[in-house]
Amino acid sequence: SQQGEEDPQALSIQEGENATMNCSYKTSINNLQWYRQNSGRGLVHLILIRSNEREKHSGRLRVTLDTSKKSSSLLITASRAADTASYFCATDRNQAGTALIFGKGTTLSVSS
Amino acid sequence: ETGVTQTPRHLVMGMTNKKSLKCEQHLGHNAMYWYKQSAKKPLELMFVYNFKEQTENNSVPSRFSPECPNSSHLFLHLHTLQPEDSALYLCASSADRGSGNTIYFGEGSWLTVV
């Protein structure tokens, strides 16, 4: 069953602008991960944030996690055309030995 | 190059055909997965293998038959599929099934059932 749900479903911005995507989930988690998928390709891991962390940075990426609201956000700063892709949040199910459950994703389009 | 290789990249098959998708990982991982990605739907976890043993089958129809001969290889055998089975099938691997592991995906196999 679907655990994470991203918002918005689609986002269009200009190069240089920041892009913010949100993810909400339903049950307790151990960690939350964000993945990126270029059109028709496999998914690539971006960043993992653990349930006891509130914020994490990686290059132009900033992820926040609010376990009380069961939500996370991914911020891409100074976006580039190459950031055009779909972005997915993924959660485990707070049980040992479980696979990731993905949301439907946010499709980001960055125009130059 | 993620270290997970899927073949074929594209496959067109009739509903009465039998075909197989192949996945190989070069990462020394012990867990492997099949996911299905259809248009406008979330990625669906199909099967999970850990140390060659199937640990999860997410109510997948029997026309999809996985096989994991060793920790590096995973197959998805297809027979008597339906047009609605057309999708991108993604293989993935991780160090093990434990929580917090990064999952590494292959580029996927595009399947069209006619």
Please list the rounded mean pLDDT of every run of 10 residues in chain A (112 residues).
76 97 90 93 94 96 96 97 96 67 92 93
Span B23-32, average pLDDT: 96
| pLDDT tens-digit map of B38-65 | 987 889 999 999 999 998 888 999 999 9
* Interacting residues of B35 by C-beta distance below 8 A, sequence separation 6+: A102, B43, B44, B45, B46, B89, B90, B91, B92, B105
Which of A100, A101, A107 is most worth mutating to test chain B (most B CB atoms within 10 A of its CB)?
A100
pLDDT at residue B100, rounded to an integer? 82
pLDDT at residue A20, rounded to an integer? 97
Q: Which two tokens stand for residue A107?
A: 């499709």
| pLDDT tens-digit map of A4-28 | 788 899 999 999 999 999 999 988 8
Tally Cβ neighbours within 10 Å of residue A81.
11
Q: Which two tokens stand for residue A83?
A: 């950031």
Query: B-chain residues within 8 Å CB-CB of A44?
Result: 2, 105
Span B3-21, average pLDDT: 96
Q: What percentage of chain B has pLDDT greater than the value 70?
A: 99
| pLDDT tens-digit map of B92-110 | 999 988 778 889 999 999 9
pLDDT at residue A98, rounded to an integer? 60
Q: For residue A81, which phi and psi values (nearest 5 degrees)?
A: -55, -35
Query: Which of B42, B98, B105 comes nearest A2 by C-beta?
Result: B42
Which of B99, B103, B104 is most worth mutating to test chain A (most A CB atoms within 10 A of its CB)?
B99
**DSSP letter string, A42-101:** -EEEEEEEETT-SEEEETTEEEEEETTTTEEEEEE-S--GGG-EEEEEEE--SSTT---E
pLDDT at residue A94, rounded to an integer? 55
Q: What residues of chain B, 36 to 95, have a C-beta less than 8 Å from chain A? A: 40-43, 45, 48, 50, 55-56, 88, 90, 92
